Structures are given as structure tokens and as C-alpha cells.
Structure 1
Amino acid sequence: MKMSKIAYKPVGMALGAASGLIASAAFKQAWKVIEGEGDAPDATDEDRSWKQILLAAALQGVIFSVVKAAVDRSGAVATRRLTGVWPG
């Protein structure tokens, strides 16, 4: 394994945790805009419709994927600027 991959591992883990927090906050705000409710439904919430459950799951998946990709890419670009090596 390349030394750059080993050195980037803790940075990647920290960025992953940060992206989860950012995505979670973004999803909560997006759900409030879409449904006007505070909490998104759980899959087992019997008081919510299939439409609400599936919409919430799809929206959450999209937001988490986009935020993770943006944070990971930004981390890789910053690493290249600092070290001159792409961490992949």
C-alpha cells in the first residue's frame, strides 16, 4: 500500500464523519421545506404513508451521497495542494 494512502486514512475517516453530520443537518432542513414537519418518517412509522416513507428515504440517500462526494473530493484536492500527491 502506498504511503500516501496510509497517511490519508485518518483524514478520510474524519472527513467521513464530518460529511455525515453535514448531510444529516441538510436532510433535516430539506425535509422541513418539503413536508413542513420537524421529523422525517422512519420506515416503520405506521402513521406515515408509503409515499412519505419512500420520498424521505430517496431524499436522504441523494443528500448523503452528494455531500459525501463533495467532502471526499474537497479533501483529496486539499491533500494534493498540501502534499503534491493525490491520495488515491
Structure 2
Amino acid sequence: MSGVLGKVAYKPVGLALGVAAGALSGLVFRQIWKRASGEDDAPSATDEERGWAEILAAAALQGLVFSVVRAAVDRAGASGVRRLTGYWPG
């Protein structure tokens, strides 16, 4: 499979993995937040009752979790494609 053809063929797989990573990272973040704070929901940026530190900590944690989960899912997907096709996508 040529480089261009491989990239095009991987696009739908990559999109599906991105959606799955987003959903999974949301679940992981909610569990981490619940255990760390004892609250079911993370604060919204416009929550008047919460302070800056709590809002920014929640946003930083959410970004970290999303990035790590996305990278793990992308890497696993690429490894799976390589095992199936013999080519590394990208």
C-alpha cells in the first residue's frame, strides 16, 4: 500500500478511534475527578460558586487525560493496522 493510499485508507479508522478516545477520556476523567474531589461533576468554567484554582485544575486534568487517552488509542490503532496490513499508517 503506498503512503498516500495508506493515509487515505486509515482516515475513517482514525476518525472512529478519535470519537472513541473522546468518549473514553470523558469516562476516565469523571472517575478521576470523582475520586480526587469527592464530587460527581467537575466544575464548569462559568460556575460562579467555584474558584479559579478549582476551575483551572479541572481543566488541566481534563486536558491531560484526553491527551493521554487519545495518544494511547491512536498508537494502538496504528499498531493494529500494522499487524493487519504490514504498513504503518501516517
Moved >6 Å (runs of 4+): none
Residue by residue, what CA displacement relative to the aligned partner does 1:10-41 show, whole Å, maximum 9, x if unpaired? 00000000000100000000000111001100
Distance (Å, rounded) in 2 between the aligned partners of 1:50 and 1:9? 39
Could you say which residue in structure 1 is the equivalent of 2:48?
46
Alignment correspondent of 1:8: 10
CA–CA distance in structure 1, aligned partners of residues 85 and 69 of structure 2: 24
TM-score (ref. length: structure 1)? 0.97
Counterparts of 2:89 and 2:51 in 1: how far apart (Å)? 44
Q: Which runs of 5+ in 2 are unaligned?
A: none
Shift of 1:51: 1.2
Residue 17 of structure 1 is matched in structure 2 by: 19
User: What is the CA RMSD across the aligned residues, in angstroms?
Assistant: 0.8
Q: Does 1:63 align with 2:70?
A: no
Q: How many pairs were matched up? A: 88
TM (normalized to structure 2)?
0.95
| Residue 46 of structure 1: how far off its partner (Å) | 0.4
Gaps of 5+ in 1: none
Question: Which residue is 1:80 aligned to?
Answer: 82
* Amino acid of the structure 1 residue aligned with 2:69: V
